[in-house]
Amino acid sequence: MRLSTKGEYASRAMLELSLRYEEKPLHIRDISKAQDIPQRFLEQILLQLKRAGYLRSRKGPDGGYFLSKPPAEINVAEVIRVMDGPLAPIDCVSVTAHEVCPHEAHCGLKGLWKEVRDAVAEIMEKATFAELAEKTRVAREIRAARAARAGRRRGT
């Protein structure tokens, strides 16, 4: 599995929508600015996530995108699979896109690749966007507190 830019941007967009889950729908430009994602690329990503059922949208001045279900019910693995496909490092150990390998009968690496697949899947499936949003909030609070302390030390 190689995380594409598209997969990374999709994860960051989902994180931003999770951070503001209780708020009104977010405009593409707001997500783009908050997560530093090119707006044109983000439009394609959000449409793909909407088609996959993770997002909904509303038109109009108060419109934008919002999660179709709570962030606690969406994990990173789901989003990456939508954007990048299987999590397996090679096709012969993929659960969702398995392909027969001509070396399967005598390959000593298949077990290793299965372990890698399982470890990656386990970590990503446990990571919900609600948990990631909370970690992001805490990190931002710590950064703000440090900046405030540094400002007081400089006398500003």
**Could you give the residue ranges of the DSSP H alpha helices within the chain?**
5-19, 28-35, 39-51, 76-84, 110-126, 129-153
Predicted TM-score (pTM) of this structure: 0.87
Would you say residue 94 lies in a domain?
Answer: no
The Cα–Cα gap between 52 and 117 comes to: 23
The Cα–Cα gap between 59 and 18 comes to: 20
Would you say residue 64 lies in a domain?
Answer: yes
Q: Tens digit of pLDDT for each residue in 51-98? A: 999 999 999 888 999 999 999 999 999 999 999 998 888 878 888 777
| In contact, 82 and 9? CB cutoff 8 Å | no
**Could you give the residue ranges of the DSSP H alpha helices within 3-103?**
5-19, 28-35, 39-51, 76-84
What residues make up the domain containing 146? 5-85+128-153
Would you say residue 108 lies in a domain?
Answer: no
Question: CATH number of the domain that 44 lies in?
Answer: 1.10.10.10
Counted domains in the chain: 1
Q: Tens digit of pLDDT for each residue in 33-49? A: 999 999 999 999 999 99
Would you say residue 90 lies in a domain?
Answer: no
